[in-house]
């Protein structure tokens, strides 16, 4: 079937469609490439620019201040800590239709444990690759993670530089469903892996280390179905030469999209995302200019240029630190008898330092560093600290949710599928066959958000205690406010404000029924008391008549 898929990929119609699709993907990415080059220069100067590099061109280093690079790395590390844990199972499968039985829960827990051990093992390299992808998400706004498997070795993961990828989204779902990845191989490697590439024998013989470029294009196949042969699977993949021929060297298919493309933030209709690196780039550029100017002025102040007063012809002044300029001594004798004179007098560096600190602060604000730094001094109360943390979680919540949905969810589902096919989980209970599984994330940020919910409940209890005291005081003083207070409605409104689940509060209909029952019981008791009093009075009157007291 692989040969049949390759034969179909080499047809004239397939080549024409492939050339057109490849040209469309490259054209759609062109507006982003200058921005990515600047981000690579100023934020990730040691990152290989991949397809953005011009062969034979120098790679200048423009970064003289590390504020942007440091903030990018720290924020990426923080997000990684929010998303995954190295100690607790952060991905747990669950049923979508109903609650699992005990037998099903045991099997699901086994799946969760084995997946966690796979994701955190040294062989899979998941955490390392996810960390590299997180740096791309924060800097460029888009990251790509490949999930695959090798025979008898389990799932493997690879963070693919966004500079080497071209993507497109499904217009109906907004999710990435098309990806082209550019990569290179040495001629001798190509000869071994793709033996029928045109002219490869001669190239490998003349220059076995010559670098050859290929493109792997993955896109949805119309009418494809999971479990079918490779040429009829839902996702088609073709590897072709990156030249004018687009000659196909390999063709296959996937049951699931093997790449997880995550965007930190995204504008509607645009396949590529943007992150703090994109927003902070203008400020980082200006900061580098200021720091470079500050360094130059500091060097000139510490080691100023000098004028030779002993003679020489007037020439262009050399203002480099420590330089020597020869001028006509007769011009300067009236000012000084010294053999040399300073060309540069140091100015006030205070304003430029203030501007540098201001711009550094703005860069840290863009990277949420001010939110992540829970300051406040030793006088900070527990309530102030909790409010500060809540602000951080609310601000990072949308970004973390997007990363979970676009990055972790596809990786978890594909990891589960690969391990299930390899028989690593064992047969599931018969009651689970045919049911859909999804994954619940118990990441550190999810745990912290649950703690926020508990704190909301504690605040509601404290509020209720105060409301009950106010109502009791009003009733005791026979104030009109006591009858005007509807305590259950007040508590319910406060619960909504604190984010407490309505399931934790008593149903208003139950409260009304209990109130009616209590009022009915009170009326019955009152009637019984009145009847008892009347009976007692009648008995006393009867006794008085019998004794002649009346």
Which pairs from 508-516 meet CB under 8 Å and 24+ separation?
none
Q: Does one domain contain both 425 and 458?
A: no
Residue of 408 and 371 predicted with greater confidence: 408
Top mean pLDDT of 21-35, 44-58, 461-475, 482-496 is at 21-35
**Low-confidence winner among 137-151, 283-297, 379-393 (lowest mean pLDDT):** 379-393
The band of 385, judged by pLDDT with boundaries at 50, 70 and 90, is: low
Upper half-sphere CA count for residue 509 (Cβ side, 13 Å): 0
Quick one: pLDDT at residue 516?
76
Going edge to edge, which strands form the sheet with 306-308?
324-326, 306-308, 340-342
Inside any domain, residue 22: yes
Inside any domain, residue 267: yes
Q: Does one domain contain both 71 and 199?
A: yes
Dist CA 407 CA 175 (whole Å): 11
Burial (CB count within 10 angstroms: exposed 0-12, middle 13-18, buried 19+), residue 192? exposed
| pTM greater than the 0.85 cutoff | no
Q: Does one domain contain both 437 and 456?
A: no
Inside any domain, residue 171: yes
Cβ neighbours, 10 Å, residue 519? 10
Q: Does one domain contain both 208 and 235?
A: yes
Q: What's the length of the chain? A: 550
Distances in Å between the Cα of 99 and the Cα atoms of 95, 160, 412, 443, 544 are 7, 38, 21, 21, 74
3-state secondary structure of 257: coil
Inside any domain, residue 54: no
Q: Does one domain contain both 134 and 257?
A: yes
Inside any domain, residue 140: yes
pLDDT at 135 over 90: yes
Mean pLDDT across the stretch 211-216? 92
Dist CA 341 CA 212 (whole Å): 60
Q: Could you say which of 407, 423, 442 is where a domain stops? A: 442
Residue of 47 and 273 predicted with greater confidence: 273
CB 292 within 8 A of CB 361: no
Quick one: pLDDT at residue 180?
96
Q: Does one domain contain both 325 and 422?
A: no
Q: Does one domain contain both 318 and 455?
A: no
Q: Does one domain contain both 210 and 165?
A: yes
Cβ neighbours, 10 Å, residue 376? 11
DSSP character at residue 228: S
Dist CA 192 CA 200 (whole Å): 10
pLDDT at 52 over 80: no
Q: Does one domain contain both 494 and 424?
A: no
Top mean pLDDT of 251-260, 320-329, 439-448 is at 251-260
CB 48 within 8 A of CB 191: no
Quick one: pLDDT at residue 546?
62
Q: Does one domain contain both 451 and 428?
A: no
Inside any domain, residue 182: yes
Distances in Å between the Cα of 307 and the Cα atoms of 5, 325, 337, 344, 508 are 78, 5, 12, 10, 91
Mean pLDDT across the stretch 439-457? 68
Quick one: pLDDT at residue 229?
85
Mean pLDDT across the stretch 250-268? 90
Bridge partners (DSSP) listed for residue 406: none
Inside any domain, residue 285: no
The band of 162, judged by pLDDT with boundaries at 50, 70 and 90, is: very high
Burial (CB count within 10 angstroms: exposed 0-12, middle 13-18, buried 19+), residue 282? exposed
Q: Could you say which of 405, 422, 442 is where a domain stops? A: 442
Complete DSSP assignment for 261-312? EEESB--TT-SS-B-HHHHHHHHHHHHHHHHHHHHHHHHHHHS--EEETT--
What is the span of the domain harbouring residue 131? 2-45+60-278+396-442
Cβ neighbours, 10 Å, residue 316? 6
pLDDT at 460 over 80: no
Upper half-sphere CA count for residue 253 (Cβ side, 13 Å): 26
Mean pLDDT across the stretch 377-406? 69
**In the chain, how many domains are there?**
3
Q: Does one domain contain both 227 and 83?
A: yes
Inside any domain, residue 351: no
DSSP character at residue 503: G
Q: What does residue 169 show for φ and ψ, rounded to 5 degrees?
A: -105, 155
Dist CA 217 CA 199 (whole Å): 23
CB 69 within 8 A of CB 63: yes
CA Rg value for the chain: 37
Widest Cα–Cα separation across the chain: 151
pLDDT at 50 over 60: no
Q: Residue 236: which of 260, 220, 257 has the closest Cα?
A: 220
CB 259 within 8 A of CB 250: no
Task: Decide the pairing of beta strands 248-254 and 235-241.
Answer: antiparallel
Quick one: pLDDT at residue 478?
59
Residue entry with tokens 């390392």: 128
Dist CA 275 CA 319 (whole Å): 41
Quick one: pLDDT at residue 313?
46
Dist CA 2 CA 518 (whole Å): 78
Q: Does one domain contain both 311 and 242?
A: no
The band of 182, judged by pLDDT with boundaries at 50, 70 and 90, is: very high
């Amino acid at each position: 079937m692989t040969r049949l898929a390759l034969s179909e990929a080499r047809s004239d119609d397939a080549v024409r469609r492939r050339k057109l699709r490849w040209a469309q993907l490259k054209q759609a990415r062109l507006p982003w490439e200058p921005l990515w080059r600047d981000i690579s220069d100023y934020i990730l100067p040691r990152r290989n620019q991949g397809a953005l590099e011009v062969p034979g061109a120098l790679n200048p280093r423009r970064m003289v201040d590390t504020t942007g690079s440091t903030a990018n790395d720290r924020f990426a590390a923080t997000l990684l800590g929010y998303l995954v844990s190295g100690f607790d199972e952060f991905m747990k499968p669950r049923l979508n239709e109903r609650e699992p039985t005990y037998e099903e829960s045991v099997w699901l827990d086994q799946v969760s444990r084995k997946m966690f051990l796979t994701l955190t093992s040294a062989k899979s390299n998941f955490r390392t690759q996810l960390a590299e992808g997180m740096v791309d998400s924060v800097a460029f706004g888009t990251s790509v993670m490949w999930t695959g498997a090798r025979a008898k070795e389990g799932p493997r993961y690879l963070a693919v530089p966004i500079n080497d990828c071209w993507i497109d989204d499904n217009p109906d779902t907004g999710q990435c469903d098309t990806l082209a990845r550019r990569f290179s191989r040495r001629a001798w490697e190509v000869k071994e892996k793709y033996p029928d590439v045109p002219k490869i024998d001669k190239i490998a013989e003349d220059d076995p280390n010559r670098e050859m470029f290929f493109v792997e294009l993955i896109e949805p196949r119309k009418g494809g179905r999971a479990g079918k042969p490779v040429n009829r699977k839902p996702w088609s993949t073709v590897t072709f030469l990156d030249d004018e021929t687009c000659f196909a060297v390999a063709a296959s298919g996937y049951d699931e999209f093997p790449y997880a493309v995550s965007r930190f933030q995204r504008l509607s209709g645009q396949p590529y995302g943007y992150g703090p690196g994109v927003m902070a780039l203008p400020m980082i550029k200006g900061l580098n200019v200021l720091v470079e100017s500050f360094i130059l002025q500091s060097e000139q102040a510490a080691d100023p240029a000098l004028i030779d007063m002993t003679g020489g012809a007037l020439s262009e002044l050399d203002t480099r630190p420590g330089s020597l300029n020869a001028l006509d001594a007769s011009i300067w004798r009236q000012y000084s008898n010294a053999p040399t004179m300073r060309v540069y007098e140091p100015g006030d560096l205070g304003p430029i330092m203030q501007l540098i600190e201001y711009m550094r602060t703005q860069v840290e604000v863009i990277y949420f560093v001010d939110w992540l730094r829970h300051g406040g001094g030793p006088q900070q109360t527990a309530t102030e600290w909790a409010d500060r943390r809540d602000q951080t979680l609310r601000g990072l919540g949308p970004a973390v949710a997007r990363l979970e949905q676009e990055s972790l969810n596809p990786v978890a589902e594909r990891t589960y599928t690969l391990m299930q096919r390899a028989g690593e989980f064992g047969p599931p209970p018969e009651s689970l066959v045919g049911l859909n599984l999804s994954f619940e994330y118990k990441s550190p940020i999810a745990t912290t958000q649950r703690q926020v919910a508990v704190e909301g409940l504690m605040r509601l209890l404290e509020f209720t205690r105060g409301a009950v005291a106010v109502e009791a005081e009003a009733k005791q003083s026979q104030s009109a406010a006591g009858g005007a207070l509807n305590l259950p409605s007040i508590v319910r409104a406060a619960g909504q404000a604190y984010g407490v689940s309505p399931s934790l509060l008593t149903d208003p209909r139950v409260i009304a029924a209990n109130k009616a029952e209590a009022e009915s019981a009170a009326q019955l008791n009152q009637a019984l008391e009145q009847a008892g009093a009347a009976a007692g009075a009648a008995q006393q009157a009867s006794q008085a008549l019998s004794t002649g007291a009346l």
